[in-house]
Structure 1
Amino acid sequence: MSDVLTQLHEAICRHLNVIYDGIPLSTSYEELAHQLLAQMRLVNNAALTPPAPHTNLWSEQDVVLITYGDSIESNVHPPLSCLHHFLNDYCKDVINSVHLLPFFPYSSDDGFSVIDYSSVNESMGSWEHVEAIAQRYRLMADLVINHCSARSVWFENFIRGEHPGKDYFFTAEPTDDLSKVVRPRTSPLLRETITRDGVKHVWCTFSHDQVDFDFRNPDVLNTFVDIIRYYLDNGIRIFRLDAVAFLWKEIGTPCINQQQTHEVVKLLRTLLEHAQPDAMIITETNIPNRENLTYFGNANEAHAIYNFSLPPLLVNTLVTGDCRYLKSWMMSMPPAQHGTTYFNFIASHDGIGLRPAEGLLSDKELETLIATMQLFGGLVSMRTSSDNVQRPYEINISLFDALKGTIKGEDQLGMPRFLCAHTIMFGLEGIPGIYIHSLLGTRNDYERLENSGHNRAINRHRWQFETLTKHLQNSDSPHHQVLSEMLRLLSIRTQQPAFHPNATQFTLHLGTQLFGYWRQSIDRKQSIFCISNITDKSQLLSLADVNLIGTEEWVDLISSHAISLSLTQIELAPYQTMWLSNKIQRP
């Protein structure tokens, strides 16, 4: 065994010791570590080298499109083929990465109740279609690691008492103390299930069709390492660990963010960075901000974490015309260490999460935000808190509709307000992720909502390829206008070293009606002042507050207008953003 492999084997054993401490196992940590290394094909890898610490696997050119495999459909081609055509026709020169939401056979929750982790849903296409996208775009896929479908072979085997699956699922008793358990849903936690061995009560964090795994069984960990290897072989390079915060359960605890959960993520990173050095882990943890930050570990856990607090804070800023809460949060956020970064987004296939706003927005602000979103056609999904009270969990609405007005009501500034949200997000420290329905300016889908009966369906529209193409070829269509401007902004963004995900960021103090921050490139050659009018009235920016260096030439990258330092003030139109950059010499 080489020195590198020996060190790796020892590191895996240390992870396993933390995960399974106090749990009797049928095999030793050393043997289990060997199994994991063998599954990742690391045992006989003569070229194995230790990963360089604090390596950034991203740059300012990285932009991720978030989409379902069937967000675009056609009667002629499989949906994954339609998506590939859309990417190549409109996005290939600007967007270089794709988060393909679960594309496996499933029984509910639009893919997040996986029946078979090794197959592509036939209604979407095949592995060949997935691999074709992966050849041109960096591909992110979900590792739905907390639960699977109650219709999976594993759960059927659990009921029959057969392997694999017999010991895969977490069970508890109704008499157990479950009062501290944190829930994201209102459904009963335990599902009564008749098995060969009698009645068992299966743990279901999300729904009774989504049965939770029991990671106390090392076979479950082995299974998911095998899945990771299979996904790597099929071109996937970014692994989104879905709902990972709930992974480890222990009776009498909140069953969220457990030490063992963090250690599992660390173990997976250790394996992944040796097997595929350019691969990444991103944790999907829709929880309060401080808890979310812990998934960075010490630059040894997730490569990236979702910036879950950004969507509710940014939407609140734009509908109230007051940035004090957004600014306060920005000032509290630690810069990500090299080797880690934030994943920024303001819309996704889920709703606008409200738990990440806990402690950041006051109860009154949350009530006003919820009421405004309901006024614009949005819905509210609830959760059951530890005190057995139902509380708002997320707002379900398309972002285009969420920003069509303010707390005063709908107005004619929806488009600039919507674009303002994105120009703010595009410049922030981290990698930007854009939901396909934001890129296309899709509205609330009430028909899909009614047909499905699920609140989240309101923002999961399925476009017909031919209909979408007609819209995008019509310059008068709002979908064409949104896509064109978004791509223009992104094409500017991806050329700026100061927008590197790990470039320096400082929050500016410009009052409550102008929101601003400063970015400086890692080599310190470029500075960009990102300043947005977040109100429905024109606002004056005092250049003295920005302090542009007089020996430099400055330009607004968005408008291409040079900035004369003889000016004392600049007027910003409602929802206008300026990216004020010094001119830099390009190689």
Structure 2
Amino acid sequence: MTQPLKAKLVAMLELVYPELDCDFLSEQLLTTMGLEPDQAPPPAHQNNWDESDVVLITYADTVQRADEKPLQTLHRFLGDCLSDSVSSVHILPFFPYSSDDGFSVMDYLAVNESHGNWEDIERIARDYKLMADLVINHMSARSRWFENFRKRIDPGKDYFFEGNPRDDLSAVVRPRTSPLLTPVQTDDGERYVWCTFSEDQVDLNFANPKVLIEFTAIIRHYLERGIIMFRLDAVAFLWKEPGTPCIHLQQTHELIKILRLLIEHHSPDAVVITETNVPNRENLTYFGNANEAHEIYNFSLPPLLINTLVTGDCKHLKTWLMSMPPAQMGTTYLNFIASHDGIGMRPTDGLLTEEEKQRLINTMDSFGGKVSYRRTPDGRDQPYEINIALYDALQGTAESGRDHWQLQRFVCAHTVMLALEGIPAFYIHSLLATENDHERVKHTGRLRSINRSQWQLDELEQKLADPLSHHSKAFRELKRLIAIRRKQPAFHPNATQFTLHLGLQLFGFWRQSMRRDQSIFCIHNISNEVQQVALSDINLIGTDQWQDLISGMTIDDLSGSITLKPYQSVWLSNLDVTV
């Protein structure tokens, strides 16, 4: 018999707040979310996605037009250019903010007036599955809550996590080199607040259940505005205990489960996504037992795939892929190879050697990239991420430098991503093949700005209409590949996947639809040399007809071979399924 919602919630809350009256707290949360104590759960292991799902990641103001709010311009661009290509749109923080391009939120319940308003958000949500950031770990030092913290009044007085400089904080895992504790003058004296990311981003105190109630109300507001995908930003750092690493603590996992329970009972089609830029084994824990995140970002994919393409060697990518467990039904991977942030280096821990990491960093540096650092518990500064536009990251090889295969290498990277188990997510600047924006870095003084350009819509439309522009070539080819992918049952995010062993210059894997009526052999030449693929090595079934979905080439002789040009990919499919 299914456990009633309230009883399940109380059991979860007691693991986080053992000293509190969790029966009363559960009633507060259910009332805040508008739920009944005995409300029926959604179907277990339900996939709220299929092979047609493709995500676009963008800032609200990446595409701009004179005399029009950016959210309206974004909606126009989506409708004109991407309505047949993407099913979901992740609009990065569109709230009033004080720093970090939106991730230092001043008001969770307002839309930044310079971007538009809630009606603009709702219009986009009617046409696409809309993902929004729940910036849950920290809030702006210029927010009303933090001003109230300084004044020692509610709401806000006890909403932020305080530390003591005398505490042993040596084990705390840091993503930055800035001081962890920031002194703040309040109306009752100096206090030290915990700042995982910057002094303008003050960590919230979830040990105070009022903060959990506040975020439950925020989530309900988003759901009522049409947002059904929740990206839990920097959630790994949520719970703090001095003397511990203050990352991945069990209370953090339990809080994610609590939020998922509330969200999916309110809206069964809603999805929780955890953003945890950490080593691969740690990242996988956020699936829980199919009761935590519905989706996790596949953070090891970007550095491993880029390393593969600039070295012409897929050994590490193949080893990693073989180690990845199939996601349970009701969960899946969110695959991406570029984002508004840099290429994370922590997800390569245990996957690349220190020498290989340094070679990748040196190669990206030669292509115009920059490196951001983090402070380790022993006080050393270690590379945290490489800041570079994906198109420029793939302009050559580690051995020979820049070459003429940039566009082909760039398309190959996305062809791999589109075919892998999981849901593909395109950062808008990768879809548009935007280059490094060094001028924006000079203007903002922030390395991440190198991959956060802004386009004027008129200029962008001209670039995309010019058949000789690399922007147009990349955009048209990626849209073509997306259109193919969205029709293949074997590319369902939860369809079977097995790794193929075809040497170091050919990266391959096999996908099979859940009904077992379609197989696709995905083979990618990740080198700058021509490669031969013996068809006998991939065991095509002789009674089926086979065709490359990308080129349209049919396979007539299964004892023969196919030739792949540098960075060429093939998706060999049987013809039982209409393409």
What TM-score, normalized to structure 2?
0.99
Residues 446-499 of structure 1, C-alpha deviations (whole Å, 9 max, x = no match): 111100000000000000111111111111111111111110000000000000
Read off the aligned partner of 1:522 and give its amino acid letter. Answer: M
Question: Structure 2 unaligned runs (5+)?
Answer: none
CA RMSD of aligned residues (A): 1.2
> Are 1:493 and 2:493 counterparts?
no
**Residues 284-332 of structure 1, C-alpha deviation per residue, up to 9 Å, x if partnerless?**
0000000000000000000000000000000000000000000000000
Match of 1:100 among 91, 99, 107: 91
CA distance in 1, matches of 2:475, 2:72: 20
Mapped partners of 1:566, 1:290: distance in 2? 39
Report whether the alignment pairs 1:56 with 2:53: no
Q: Look up the match of 1:529.
A: 521
Alignment of 1:368-387 (within 5 A): 368-387=359-378
- CA apart distance, 1:177: 0.2
1:87 and 2:78 matched? yes
Compute the displacement of 1:566 (Å): 4.5
1:282 to 273, 277, 285: 273
- What does 1:107-122 align with in structure 2 at a 5 Å threshold? 107-122=98-113
Partner deviation per Cα, 1:244-290 (whole Å, 9 max, x = no partner) = 00000001000000000000000011111110000000000000000
Deviation at 1:93, TM superposition (A): 1.1
- The correspondence for 1:578, drawn from 562, 570, 579, is 570
| CA apart distance, 1:43 | 2.6
**Given that residues 542 and 558 in structure 2 are in contact (C-alpha distance below 8 angstroms), is that contact kept between their aligned partners in structure 1?**
no
Q: CA deviation at 1:105?
A: 0.4
2:4 is matched with 7
CA distance in 2: counterparts of 1:565 and 1:198, whole angstroms = 81
User: Any idea what SS the aligned residue of 1:361 has?
Assistant: coil
Indicate the SS of the match to 1:387. coil
Partner SS state of residue 67, structure 2:
coil
Residue 502 of structure 2 is matched in structure 1 by 510
CA displacement at 1:585 relative to structure 2: 4.1
Aligned length in residues: 578
Distance 1:173 1:404 in 2: 48
Deviation sequence 1:6-26 (CA, Å, 0-9, x none): 8100111011100112xx44x
> Which amino acid in the other structure matches residue 412 of structure 2?
C
Q: Any conservation in 1 of the 2:535–2:558 contact (CA below 8 Å)? A: no
Give the partner amino acid of 1:301: E
Query: Residue 366 of structure 1 aligns to which amino acid in structure 2?
Result: K
1:415 aligns with 2:407: yes
Q: Secondary structure at the match of 2:4?
A: helix
Could you tell me how far 1:567 is from its partner in structure 2?
4.8
Q: Deviations over 1:203-222 (max 9, x none)?
A: 00000000000100000000
Gap runs ≥5 in structure 1: none
- Residue 545 of structure 2 is matched in structure 1 by 553
Contact 2:518-2:577 within 8 A present in 1 as well: no
Name 1:38's counterpart in structure 2.
31
Confirm or deny that 1:562 pairs with 2:554: yes
Match of 1:306 in 2: 297
Following superposition, the deviation at residue 565 of structure 1 comes to 2.3
Please state how far the C-alpha of 1:76 moved relative to its aligned partner.
2.1
* Equivalent position to 1:243, from 234, 250, 253: 234
**Are 2:4 and 2:37, in contact at CA under 8 Å, matched by a contact in 1?**
no
1:65-99 per-position Cα deviation (integer Å, ceiling 9, x unaligned): 00000001111211111111111111101211100
Partner of 1:445: 437
Q: SS where residue 581 of structure 1 aligns? A: strand
In structure 2, distance between residues paired with 1:473 and 1:35: 55
Q: Distance in 1 between matches of 2:168 and 2:558?
A: 69
Q: Aligned partners of 1:121 and 1:257: how far apart in 2? A: 32
Structure 1 residue 44: deviation in Å? 8.2
Q: Report the CA distance between 1:223 and its aligned residue.
A: 0.4
For residue 429 of structure 1, give the secondary structure of its aligned residue in structure 2: coil
Q: Contact conserved, 1:193 with 1:199, CA < 8 A, in 2? A: yes
CA displacement at 1:586 relative to structure 2: 4.5
Shift of 1:49: 2.3
Aligned partner (choices 14, 17, 20) of residue 20 of structure 1: 17
Residue 123 (structure 1) aligned to one of 114, 118, 123: 114
Do 2:171 and 2:377's aligned partners in 1 also have CA atoms closer than 8 Å? yes
Give the counterpart letter for 1:124 in structure 2: H
Q: What is the alpha-carbon distance in structure 1 between the residues aligned to residue 234 and residue 352 of structure 2?
A: 23
- Consecutive aligned runs of 4 or more in structure 1 exceeding 4 Å deviation: none
Give the 3-state SS of the residue equivalent to 1:172 in structure 2: coil
**2:286 is equivalent to residue 295 of structure 1:** yes
Distance between the aligned counterparts of 1:123 and 1:566, measured in 2?
59
Verify: 1:430 aligned to 2:422, yes or no: yes
1:189/1:566 CA distance change after superposition, 3 Å: closer
CA–CA separation in structure 1 for the residues paired with 2:447 and 2:311: 25
The one-letter amino acid paired with 1:212 is D
* 2:4 and 2:40 in contact (8 A); partners too: no
Counterpart-to-counterpart distance in 2, 1:94 and 1:348 = 18
